[in-house]
Amino acid sequence: MLKLSVESFGEPIAMRLLLRMFTVIVGLAVLLVSAAPLVLYQCGLSNVDGRPQRPSKMADAAEQARIWKQAGGHGTAVVGALNLYGFLAHFFSESSRAVPSETVAYRIARSYLPEHPREPGAAAWHMSVAAFTIWLTRNSRPRRFSQSPLRQ
């Protein structure tokens, strides 16, 4: 009969085995924590049916300036691309005030999503709006943000 105990392996081997198991568990936890936002982002985008098309007519400069000012922007519209981890860090920080380009992208996402949902439910909607806001900042030009859904 096979007897597995600290005495059968010796103390140094048992400690190495415990250290390896601990290292594997910590590595899997780090992998899970770093991959979870990417999975949530992809799930959020998969809940959005299609992507917005370029508008046939752009808003004039005065309308674009009004939209930018309404979002809290000053001067020329500058759109910085969000990344997923920066978005999460900003979301959980104490000063979670959105910058104007995020506000404009959020308004577009919020106006587009009710017409193009895939799954009902508040959790799916919030995840989709957040993922779509990130997608918009990464895949749009500043002038494209002045679409008609923002006119309120």
Query: What does pTM read for this prediction?
Result: 0.68
Torsion angles phi and psi, residue 106, rounded to 5: -65, -40
Q: Measure CA of the first residue to CA of the last residue in the chain; give whole Å.
A: 79
Q: Could you tell me which residues come within 8 angstroms of residue 100 by beta carbon, excluding any fewer than 6 positions away?
A: 68, 71, 72, 73, 77
Q: 72: left (phi > 0), else alpha (psi -120 to 50), else beta?
A: left
- C-beta atoms surrounding 134 within 10 Å: 23
**pLDDT tens for each residue of the chain, 152 residues long:** 555 555 555 567 778 888 999 999 999 999 999 998 899 899 888 888 877 777 777 777 787 778 888 877 777 777 777 888 888 777 777 776 777 778 888 888 888 887 776 777 788 888 888 898 888 888 776 544 444 444 43
